[in-house]
């Protein structure tokens, strides 16, 4: 896998997640077994904006040559996404979310592994 491929995957995932969190945040909350409240929807929309920003960053940087900055982006993105997967498992074990969170956890684990793979190979 190359940086360009993982950047395009992140672009697509970021756009899909961003739009879903902004326009259909209640469906994400329902999938995870979290009650829809005004506060949770505000947070969902704000998270959506972050995902859209990440999608744009990876789209614009998809052709970046190997560099210290590109390596740092891969390592940080992989670590942050792995943390999301771990937090999903933690919240499930604490019974704060339903098993619906596992779709997100698996996708996050695969994406994190992709970023670490590119980081490891691009050094």
Tokens of 57: 């960053």
**pTM of the prediction?**
0.90
Per-residue pLDDT tens digits for 58-114: 999 999 999 999 999 999 999 999 999 999 999 999 999 999 999 999 999 999 999
pLDDT at 122 over 90: no
- What's the average model confidence in pLDDT over 37-55? 97
Question: Could you tell me what percentage of the chain is helix, strand and coil, using 3-state DSSP and rounding each to the nearest 5?
Answer: 80, 0, 20
Instruction: For 36-58, give the DSSP string.
Output: --HHHHHHHHHHHHHHHHHHHHH
b/e map 7-16, b = 16+ CB within 10 Å: bebbbebbbe
pLDDT at 123: 58
Contacts 24+ apart (CB under 8 A), 18-23: 18/48, 18/49, 18/50, 18/51, 18/52, 18/55, 19/48, 19/52, 20/48, 21/45, 21/47, 21/48, 21/51, 22/48, 22/49, 22/52, 23/48
Contact 13, 111 (CB under 8 A): yes
pLDDT at 39 over 80: yes
- What's the average model confidence in pLDDT over 21-44? 96
């Amino acid at each position: 896998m190359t940086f360009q491929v993982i950047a395009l995957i992140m672009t697509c995932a970021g756009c899909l997640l961003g739009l879903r969190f902004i326009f259909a945040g209640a469906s994400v909350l329902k999938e995870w077994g979290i009650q829809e409240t005004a506060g949770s929807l505000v947070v969902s929309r704000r998270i959506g904006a972050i995902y859209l920003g990440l999608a744009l960053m990876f789209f614009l940087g998809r052709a970046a040559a190997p560099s210290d900055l590109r390596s740092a982006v891969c390592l940080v993105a992989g670590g942050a996404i792995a943390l999301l997967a771990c937090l999903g498992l933690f919240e499930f074990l604490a019974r704060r979310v339903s098993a619906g969170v596992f779709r997100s956890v698996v996708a996050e684990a695969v994406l994190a592994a992709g970023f670490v793979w590119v980081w490891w190979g691009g050094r």
